[in-house]
Amino acid sequence: MNALRLLIRKNARSINLCRKFSSNIYEPPYLDALKPVVPLYDSLNIEVRGYDYAILESYQALINSIAKEMEIDVEEGWALPPQAMQITTLKPNSDIINSQYNLKIYRRVLQLNDVFTTQLPTLLRAIEASTPAGVSVKVEKHEFHHEEERYIPDKDLLTLKQELDELGGAKKSK
């Protein structure tokens, strides 16, 4: 009887030790040693906006080289369609147009994967220190809508779909 109690106590201690070092009782404890000690950001987007195409392209290349130098995984980079704006200035105290300007805002995005939480502040500080005039930078978590805005819609296909809807939609065969 005493031998049985002793065996139960030994097994209980070993089970408690496994639970202490392992998050799951069904997995071996050495798997926890493979997890990184420093937490990681899954996927981040660095979006760069500016009015000058050439400056924006070279700045995106600079951010890419800084990230590669810090051994941060740059998954990919892409250009987003430019946004066209028309700026109108008026003469003081009147409705008369003084001048009109057509501006385009260019955007570039770099997607980073598995960034250590200790590396990100250093990267952001380097980006902030090297940002040229007229360029803005935004860092955010990568989400599905970032993939959607990446692609330019096919105007011909959209007009054909609209015409089909105006004619009564697609006919279903039985």
3-state secondary structure the chain: CHHHHHHHHHHHHHHHHHHHHCCCCCCCHHHHHHCCCCCEEEEEEEEEEECCHHHHHHHHHHHHHHHHHCCCEEEEEEEEEEEEEEEEEECCCCCCEEEEEEEEEEEEEEEEEEEECCCHHHHHHHHHHHCCCCEEEEEEECCHHHHHCCCCCCHHHHHHHHHHHHCCCCCCCC
Higher pLDDT, 12 or 113: 113
| The pTM of the whole model exceeds 0.75 | no
- Tell me what the mean pLDDT of segment 10-24 comes to: 50
Q: What is the mean pLDDT of the chain?
A: 81
pLDDT for the residue 67: 93
pLDDT at 84 over 60: yes
Q: What is the pLDDT of residue 5?
A: 55
Report the pLDDT value the prediction gives residue 171, as an integer from 0 to 100: 65
The confidence score (pLDDT) of residue 17 equals 45
